[in-house]
């Protein structure tokens, strides 16, 4: 559903106006609202793990405690990628576009990769920082707001999600990314993940408590550590 929102709103925007700024505004607003709703709706079910970068970060920080296991990661990541591809196909179907047409939107440039590093690092810092200060309940609004802002302040328009990046390669529309651009984008996102976790350690001094509740709590609430 997340990728259906991103791709579908991009298609709708390009059909309604030729102004690229208005197209980006429409696309970003739809993504903000859609992402916020999806986190609020699915956070209590799965922790709203839509993003392999977040899932890997949760496993890494909680590997020595009662956090996500490698088995969890092995289940989550394929589901995230399959969902992203399915979302792109669904959006194309809703707008009578070819169901699968690889994107020709080249995004291969150093400044775009830098934008992805910054976007992903900020996202990781936000999500795990909220967990550290006991504010995970505001994640739907906070994460959606950050992604909306990052659409505009990063050169890459903030994919910040390896699964979403892969899914968007399957649609030759406004939101697409050429397959040749996918691997460098994902590499930048993984680098951003590492930098984001480092920033959490610097800001908060100790590793974050991780697990499958890093996005939205879905169980008995726990007090944040001091």
Q: What is the mean pLDDT of residues 123-136?
A: 94
Task: Report the pLDDT value the prediction gives residue 215, as an integer from 0 to 100.
Answer: 54
- The answer to whether residue 225 is domain-embedded is no
CATH number (domain holding residue 102): 1.20.1080.10
- The answer to whether residue 210 is domain-embedded is no
Q: For residue 206, is pLDDT > 70?
A: no
Q: Using one digit for the tens of pLDDT, what is the confidence trace for 46-105?
A: 889 999 999 999 999 887 676 789 999 999 999 999 999 999 999 999 999 999 999 999
DSSP labels, 80-126 = HHHHHHHHHHHHHHHTT--SS---------HHHHHHHHHHHHHHHHH
- The answer to whether residue 49 is domain-embedded is yes
- The answer to whether residue 151 is domain-embedded is yes
- The answer to whether residue 223 is domain-embedded is no
- Residue 159 sits in which domain range? 2-204
Q: What's the pTM value of the predicted model, to 2 decimals? A: 0.88
Cβ pair 78, 121 in contact under 8 A: no
- The answer to whether residue 221 is domain-embedded is no
The encoded tokens of residue 36 equal: 């916020």
SS3 6: helix
Q: Using one digit for the tens of pLDDT, what is the confidence trace for 144-163?
A: 999 999 999 999 999 999 99
């Amino acid at each position: 559903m997340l990728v259906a929102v991103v791709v579908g709103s991009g298609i709708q925007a390009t059909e309604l106006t030729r102004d690229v700024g208005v197209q980006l505004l429409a696309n970003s607003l739809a993504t903000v609202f859609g992402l916020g709703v999806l986190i609020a709706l699915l956070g209590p079910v799965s922790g709203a793990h839509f993003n392999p970068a977040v899932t890997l970060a949760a496993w890494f920080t909680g590997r020595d405690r009662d956090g996500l296991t490698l088995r969890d990661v092995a289940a989550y990541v394929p589901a995230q990628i399959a969902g992203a591809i399915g979302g792109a196909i669904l959006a194309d179907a809703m707008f009578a576009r070819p169901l699968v047409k690889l994107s020709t939107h080249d995004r291969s440039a150093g400044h775009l990769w830098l934008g992805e590093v910054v976007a992903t690092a900020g996202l990781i810092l936000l999500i795990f920082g909220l967990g550290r200060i006991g504010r995970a309940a505001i994640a739907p609004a906070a994460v959606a707001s950050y992604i909306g802002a990052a659409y505009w302040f990063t050169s890459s328009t903030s994919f910040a999600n390896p699964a979403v990046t892969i899914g968007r390669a399957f649609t030759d529309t406004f939101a697409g990314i050429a397959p040749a651009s996918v691997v460098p984008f994902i590499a930048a996102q993984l680098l951003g993940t590492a930098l984001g976790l480092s920033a959490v350690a610097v800001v908060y001094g100790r590793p974050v408590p991780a697990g499958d509740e890093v996005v939205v709590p879905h169980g008995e609430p726990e007090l944040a550590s001091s």
